[in-house]
Amino acid sequence: MQEQKFADQGARAALDHLFSVTYEELRRLAATVQRGGAGQTLNPTALVNEAWLRLARAPELRAASRLHFKRIAARAMRQLLIEAARRREAGKRGGGALMVAFDEALDLPPATPAGFLALDESLDELARLNPRQAQIVESRYFGGLDVAETAELLEVSEATVHREWRVARAWLAAELRRAR
């Protein structure tokens, strides 16, 4: 029992260390969230901190590597952004809307909460059709990973990441245009 407690403490210490060494990188990634008005609460620091709180509460969270941790953090930030967009849509409050600066490579304009929800739905559909392409989009867009890091994380070649990234971007763009 005591050995398990020490193992859990060691895993938590490793996770704390991963968070601290990736914090600035995650914050830069979260800076894609722009203030849409005075009432905006999801600034980059808040987004990263909320993601960390969510991750820290996960009882069995273990990150295999720095890249794996960034992918987990990206997923948490995506979920937080979706929840914020849903709250804004449900509240139908006027004023500033959550604005996300999409990667130019996706060829998408900044989104309103409704547009961001459409992206999430399209990404979920892509995950059903081609899970690896969805992982590539999530890793590159939400995780801020480059092609080499994405290839290493998914254990595929960089050529595969390039090819599937192009296909996934085209598919998402078509889905989002159709959804408008």
Kindly give the residue spans of alpha helices, DSSP state H, lying in 33-146: 44-57, 66-91, 113-129, 131-137
What is the model's pLDDT at position 171? 92
Each residue's pLDDT expressed in tens, for the chain with a length of 180 residues: 544 444 556 666 777 787 787 787 777 777 755 444 334 456 777 888 888 888 877 767 777 788 888 888 888 888 888 887 777 776 654 444 333 344 444 444 445 677 778 888 999 999 999 999 999 998 888 777 889 989 998 999 999 999 999 999 999 988 888 877
Which amino acid, residue 83?
Answer: E
Question: Which DSSP string do the residues of 106-129 spell out, in sequence order?
Answer: GT-PPBPHHHHHHHHHHHHHHHHH
Buried b (16+ CB within 10 A) or exposed e, 27-57: eebbebbeebeeebebebeebbebbbebbee
What is the model's pLDDT at position 92? 55
Q: Could you give the count of Cα atoms lying within 13 Å of 128 in the half-sphere of its Cβ?
A: 5
What is the model's pLDDT at position 128? 96
Tokens of 121: 């739905």
- Distance between CA 131 and CA 143 in Å, rounded? 16
What is the model's pLDDT at position 8? 59
- Distance between CA 152 and CA 168 in Å, rounded? 19
What is the model's pLDDT at position 126? 95
Tokens of 167: 């296909």
